[in-house]
Amino acid sequence: MNLELLKKRSSIFRSIVFVLALVISLRFFSYSIFPPKIKRFDRIGRVFLYPHRGVIRDINGIVLVNNDIAYDVYVDVGGISLKQKNEILEKLESQFPLSKRLKERVLSSNRGTFLVRSGIALRQAKAIAGYGFKNVVLIPSDKRVLLYPSLSKIIGRTSSSYGISGLEKKYDVILSPKIKGELLYARHGKYKLYGDTLEEKPAVNGGTVYTTIDVNIQRMAEDILKATVDKYKGAGGEIVVMDTKNGGIRAMASTGSIGSVIGDIFEPGSSIKPVTVSIGLETRSVKATDTFYSKGYIRPSPLSRVIIHDIDKYGTVTVADAVRVSCNVGIVNVAKKIVDNIGEEGFYKYLHAFGFGNFTGVDLEGESRGILRPPSKWSAVDYAEIAIGQGIGVTALQLLDAISTIANGGVMVKPHIVDRIVLPDGSERYIETKKRRIISEDTAIAVKKMLRSVVTNGTGIRASVPGIEVAGKTGTAQKPSPQGGYFKNKYYSIFVGFYPFDTPKYSIIIVVDDPKGKYYGADVAAPAFREMVERIVSYERGNRFALTGDIAPVNMINVMNSSGESYLPDLRGKTLKDVFVRYEQWKKKYPGMQLKIEGYGKVVIQKPNPGTLLSKIMTLSIKMKP
């Protein structure tokens, strides 16, 4: 062949190769900088990522309600035959029922992803995954789990992803899932099965609500209430522990006949007397040193035959004495002075200002106003009966808030159950504490001293706590009869108070409905108040024995008793590695201890409970969730 011709051909070939290489390089560069968009929808799979509902915690961060693991089931119908669709639906229907309409939609569609079931259990999800269908996608979802069932009245319930009662409803806007995410994936092969992830837009979960509840104080309150109601065979009872200064509710519980601390009402009896005296002092209708004579009964009005009795003939008593010994005659005389000075309307306005006949404004559903009739509907003796706690209906929270106002120097603080919220972007918002002055500080100090004397040498002496100055008021109220009048042998036993006296930290109320045998507030409710104070103080000083039985405070670290024996710590929230590290240490000292683990992720349940002696544990059972 001609050499010149070969050179020309070789040159042409090299040029062609160079051009092709240049085109390929440019094409590769173009793909790298500007990747091609897949425009045909049937080549892209799409799965929505649903956001989670927010968590509710106590004031220390302990989880009260969370989301358990569940799964949503999707079927991607693109690229599969009618026979394959029927096979998939048949298998799925063996796990849960499918509606006729849904099956028809799946069978008649050639593209798209269908949600066929939401919130299935892990067991069902594993079974479905075992079928091996590439076009069936399992996406984790939520199932609401209340970790402290006794708080169900406070926490409330949800339906699907929205709240229908309690805090779940009140703060639904905060807790509800926010922005739905999505996952786009490529489909490969003849049947366009699940392939590479193209794009993921994460979902935005709901915010977190931190309550004012302290689960340890809550457990103590529940234990003491139950023990007291059981001891006196009561029909029911209720208890509230509230931060005196800011109105944060640390514990709230009810049992038996009392369904709601904020909804059920009762006559307060003598426990309202400090409010009556506060109004008398504030309006200068009486002075603390004014005296009255009690011969054991009083007729409040010449227009009525009603006679109000005392349990004793107290003789001459001061206003302060009337509170200390709970003298009805003395308090009725105070009320008469009030009405003579500012009228029934003025008396009513002050009672209303103290919160009676009005909402406290607590951030919970189902609050009652109580009963405080306007003066236009009062009889000739109503002013006197209301002054000693009859003819007026209150909730436990109303009464506690009123007495707490006196403890707080005359300033009423709005009770609340939520401390702060954390929004999805991480920002925090604290709940504003609303305050308003009801009486002067001088009046409040004077009445506080009277409430202290109730405990030191009055009707509330059984509420006294060695080393701690507590103050409060007993109450024993006859229960109204539906037929009119009062039952002769049915009572509410009440104690409401606060501690410490000088700078109150907590205000506490305990009410027992229809105790048997002993029924006076001094005998039934006062000792329960004392125990509540003792155990809160002990707990806040770090003493594990503040809680009953072998149960230690939540999140308590491993501690030893005087004999050097160790207690089981709270393992909730710990990883498997954390559990194994501790178990290996315990195994050396207690070789008989066995470890049983269920699930994976982090510890959600442990048996036995935190605080159990390690030497007593044969098997430590741990349940974990992702």
87 and 231 in a single domain? The answer is: no
Domain end residue (candidates: 546, 566, 599)? 546
The number of domains in the chain is: 4
Over the stretch 556-599, which tens digit does the pLDDT of each residue have?
334 343 344 577 887 887 877 678 778 778 877 887 788 877 77
Q: What is the pLDDT of residue 118?
A: 79
Instruction: Name the DSSP letter for residue 482.
Output: T
The low-confidence residues of the chain, meaning pLDDT below 70, are 1-48, 141, 160-161, 185-198, 543-565, 577, 600, 611, 626
| C-alpha to C-alpha distance for 171 and 168, rounded to whole angstroms | 6
Listed residues 172, 192, 211: the one ending a domain? 211
pLDDT reported for residue 618: 83
Residue 66 domain boundaries: 44-211
Residue 12's pLDDT is what?
Answer: 53
To which H or E segment does residue 6 belong?
A: helix 3-33
CA proximity to 347, closest of 280, 410, 302, 394: 280
- CA 463/CA 455 separation, integer angstroms: 6
231 and 207 both lie in a single domain:
no
Residues 196 and 89 in one domain: yes
Contacts with 328 (C-beta within 8 Å, 6 or more apart), sequence order: 270, 294, 298, 308, 309, 310, 388
Per-residue confidence (pLDDT) for residue 188, from 0 to 100: 53
Is position 562 within any domain?
no
What pLDDT is recorded for position 294?
A: 94
Within a domain: residue 557?
no
- Residues 142, 232 within the same domain: no
In tens, the pLDDT along 451-509 reads: 999 999 999 999 999 999 999 999 999 998 888 889 989 999 999 999 999 999 999 99
Is residue 62 located within the same domain as residue 16? no
b/e string for 449-467 if b means 16 or more Cβ within 10 A?
A: ebbbbbbeebbbebbbbee
Which string of DSSP letters, residue by residue, matches 243-257? Answer: ETTT-BEEEEEEEET
Same domain, residue pair 137 and 57:
yes
What pLDDT does residue 71 have?
Answer: 84
How far is the C-alpha of 459 from the C-alpha of 473, rounded, in Å? Answer: 8
In a domain, 228, yes or no: yes
Q: Which two tokens stand for residue 212?
A: 């004012």
Q: Which of 180, 211, 242 is the last residue of a domain?
A: 211
**570 domain residue, yes or no:** no
Model pLDDT, residue 164:
87
pTM for the whole structure: 0.74
- pLDDT on residue 186: 67
Q: Are residues 302 and 414 in the same domain?
A: yes
Is 590 within a domain? yes
pLDDT on residue 4: 55
* 252 and 277 inside one domain: yes
Residue 495 sits in the same domain as residue 366: yes
Q: What pLDDT shows up at residue 202?
A: 81
